[in-house]
Amino acid sequence: MRKSFLLAPSLLSADFSKLGSELIYIEENGGKLIHVDVMDGHFVPNLSFGAPVLKSLKGKTSLPFDVHFMVTNPSDFVKDFAEAGAEYFTFHIEAAVHAHRLIGLIREYGMKPGISLVPSTPVSVLQEVLPFADLVLVMSVNPGFGGQKMIPECIEKIRQLKKIREEKKLSYLISVDGGINSQTLPVAAEAGADIIVSGSSFFSGELRV
Ligand code: DX5
Ligand code: ZN
């Protein structure tokens, strides 16, 4: 398979007692972005990292931080994560009534806006905001936990997003997140994913690119 994607290992499956050296491990094993999963215990039933953790990692890698917000109030986190060094600020469309305004705020703070959708949300709800997005993150599991099995039906959304991007001459990157391992990665890559997120399979050593 021709490698046409960037690998974004997810820190959620890293050893939290040595996050600094886990960044080096990511760099040495083909990672091109650092995927950081921010969970608030409301949008998803789990808690993970806050801005101080990202801030402490800033300067320990030259790779960009691809931050995925699984939170109910994404706009509350824009300032702190911009200061902490986030490059991509990806929020869930299900958590953003005023998505267009939020995208503007993310850009004001110098970050790249990304929009994510859970498996039960169709691509069609993104129609009005796609022209303003730098990245679209297709969730291929229900968000909240690493180590889940991919829901294969979600892969079709990658094809749909690729088609819309061509038809409308847009430029967002398409990312996929959840249940990526050595079996499912080729399927996601063939469908057209530009960025592939992997947590448990990357850190267990099962997945190598
Ligand atoms: C899940 C997170 C993912 C998670 C992926 O809600 O958004 O980024 O770390 O983990 P794996 O690759 O183990 O499914
Ligand atoms: Zn994620």
Q: Does residue 172 lie within any of the structural domains?
A: yes
- 9 Cα–ligand 2 center, Å: 9
Active site residue 177: yes
Total domains in the chain come to: 1
> Which member of 37, 40, 66, 194 is catalytic?
37
pLDDT tens-digit series, residues 6-27:
999 999 999 999 999 999 999 9
List, edge to edge, every strand of the sheet that includes 135-139. Answer: 6-9, 195-198, 173-177, 135-139, 112-117, 88-92, 65-70, 34-39
- Residue ranges for the known binding site for substrate are 10, 68, 144-147, 177-179, 199-200
* 209 within a domain of the structure (yes/no): no
Q: Is residue 158 part of a domain?
A: yes
Residue 1 lies in a domain: no
pLDDT in tens, 170-187: 999 999 999 999 999 999
Whether this prediction's pTM lies above 0.75 is answered by yes
Structural domain boundaries, residue 162: 6-204
* 80 falls within a domain: yes
Is 40 among the residues known to form the active site? no
Question: What CATH number is given to the structural domain containing 35?
Answer: 3.20.20.70
Please write the tens of the pLDDT for every residue from 34-76: 999 999 999 999 999 999 999 999 999 999 999 999 999 999 9
Assess if residue 153 is contained within a domain: yes
